[in-house]
Structure 1
C-alpha cells in the first residue's frame, strides 16, 4: 500500500506490516493529512438511521492503559492487530460507527474506513487503570471544541462516583462542563456512569440495580442542558427498574469478554425492549471474542438490533 492509502479505496489491501508502515509514513511526513481526511469525511445525516438503533464499536480502552481482553493482559497492545479487528467490525452490515480516542480515530481516518460512519470521540482518559489517581479522571483526550473541529458526531465521558474519594468532585465538574460544551455544538454527549469503590487497592464498579439507578440519576443531571445527552450503561439485574431512572436515550455497553457469549446476547436482547434503550456500544466483547471470529461476534450483536 502506498503512503496515499486513503486514495486506494481499500483499507484492507496489503499486509498488516504494509498498512502500519504506510500509517507511520503519513504521520511522519504528512501529519496535515489527518486534518484533511477529517475535513473530507462523509458524515451521516443523523445519529439514528431508519431502524432507530445505533451500533458502535468501542476502542478507547488502550488510552487508559486497559489492554486486557479475554484473560490476555496485553490483548490490545498490538495496534496493527487492533486496527485489523476494527476494520473487520466496521465493514460488517449494521455497524454504524466507532467510539475511540484521537490516535485510533485518526488511524481509521487515514485508512479511509470512517466514510458515512458515526464517530464519537473519547474525552477523559486520565484515570489510568490501577493508578492511585484513577478516580481523578482528567480530560486528556478530545475536547468538545476538538470534536467539533474534527467533524465528529459527539463525545463520550466516563463518570465514576466514589463517595470516599474527593477527586470525584473534580471529575463531576469536568464531565458537566463537557456535556454543556458538546451541547453548545449540537453534538451528542455520551455519559458512562458508575458508582465505584476502591477494594483491595483497585477501583471496582458497583453493578447492583440500586447503584446503577443512583449513577444514572447523577449523570442525567450533568450540564446546562440534557438535550444532547445519551447514557452508556451496562446490563445488570432488574434493568426495567434501572432504566426507569431517566428518560435519556441509552446505549448498552458490552464490557469484558464474556465466558458465556450466548447469555450476554440474551441480556442485550431483553434490555433492547426497554423504551429508552437505542442500541449497543461494544468493544472487547466483539473485537476479541473467545473463538476469535470478530465478524461472527459483530453479526450476532447486530442481529439483536
Structure 2
C-alpha cells in the first residue's frame, strides 16, 4: 500500500520518488453514493482557479498562487462534514489523493476531475458574505439545482475562517435540519 504524505515536504518527496503512488491511491478511493432523490444535495469545493489563471481573491491579486497554501485550505475544506468532493485540475487532484484522509472520513478523499460546470455568478463572499449566502440559498430552491460548487469564496473568506465558510455553505444544503 502506498504511504500517504502527512506533510507537504513528504508529498513532494513521494511524488518525485514514487510517481505510481498517485495511481495506487486513486484505485483505493471510495465513491460517494449517487444522487437519486430530489432532496439529495451535493457540496463540491471548486479549486480549478489556478489552472485557469484566476488567482485573485478580493483585492489580493495572487491569493491562490501559493500552491501549498491552497492544498492546506483544500484539506481543511474537505475535512468538513457534508463536503462531497473537489473540482480541480489533475495535478491538484493527484496531490490530494496522496494526503491523509480527513479525520471524520477514515478513507481516501472523494475527488474527481470535472472539466465543465455551471456557474452562479455574482456570489462573491469578498463583496458581501451574507448576500452571497442568500444567492446560494435562492439558487438551491430552484428545482433543477442539486447542490453547490463553490471555490474561492470558501477557501479564502474575508474573515479567514475556512471552517465557518464551508460549514455555512453545507448548512444551506439542509435547510431546517442543521442550518439556515
Q: In the TM superposition, what are the counterparts of 1:132-151 in structure 2 within 5 Å?
A: none
Q: 1:260 aligns with which of 128, 132, 139?
A: 128
Q: Which residue of 2 aligns with 1:46?
A: 34
Q: 1:109 aligns with which of 85, 90, 97?
A: 97
Structure 1: 4+ residue segments shifted above 6 A: none
Contact preservation (8 Å) 1:43, 1:116: no
Normalising by structure 2, we get a TM-score of: 0.84
Query: What runs of 5+ residues in structure 2 fail to find an aligned partner?
Result: 174-180
Q: Per the alignment, do residues 49 and 293 of structure 1 end up closer, same or farther by CA in structure 2, a change over 3 Å counting?
A: farther
Q: 1:37 aligns with which of 22, 25, 47?
A: 25
Q: 1:288 aligns with which of 134, 143, 156?
A: 156
Q: In the TM superposition, what are the counterparts of 1:141-290 in structure 2 within 5 Å?
A: 155-157=114-116, 192=117, 232-235=118-121, 256-290=124-158
Counterpart CA distance in 2 for 1:271 and 1:30 is 44
Contact preservation (8 Å) 2:28, 2:108: no
Q: Per the alignment, do residues 289 and 261 of structure 1 end up closer, same or farther by CA in structure 2, a change over 3 Å counting?
A: same
Normalising by structure 1, we get a TM-score of: 0.51
Counterpart CA distance in 2 for 1:52 and 1:118 is 17
Contact preservation (8 Å) 1:55, 1:281: yes
Q: Per the alignment, do residues 48 and 83 of structure 1 end up closer, same or farther by CA in structure 2, a change over 3 Å counting?
A: farther
Q: Which residue of 1 aligns with 2:4?
A: 5
Counterpart CA distance in 2 for 1:80 and 1:49 is 37
Q: Which residue of 2 aligns with 1:297?
A: 165
Superposition deviation, residue 94 in structure 1 = 0.8
Q: Per the alignment, do residues 77 and 235 of structure 1 end up closer, same or farther by CA in structure 2, a change over 3 Å counting?
A: closer
Counterpart CA distance in 2 for 1:47 and 1:110 is 27
Counterpart CA distance in 2 for 1:107 and 1:117 is 11
Deviations 1:164-192 (A, max 9, x none): xxxxxxxxxxxxxxxxxxxxxxxxxxxx4
Q: Per the alignment, in what secondary structure is the counterpart of residue 63 of structure 2?
A: coil
Q: Per the alignment, in what secondary structure is the counterpart of residue 112 of structure 1?
A: coil
Q: Which residue of 2 aligns with 1:94?
A: 82
Contact preservation (8 Å) 1:48, 1:54: no
Q: Which has the higher contact order (CA 8 A, sep 6+)?
A: 2
Q: Which residue of 1 aligns with 2:176?
A: none
Q: Per the alignment, in what secondary structure is the counterpart of residue 281 of structure 1?
A: strand
Q: Per the alignment, in what secondary structure is the counterpart of residue 56 of structure 1?
A: strand
CA RMSD of aligned residues (A): 2.3
Q: Which has the larger radius of gyration?
A: 1
**Bigger strand fraction:** 1
Contact preservation (8 Å) 2:57, 2:126: no
Counterpart CA distance in 2 for 1:48 and 1:78 is 38
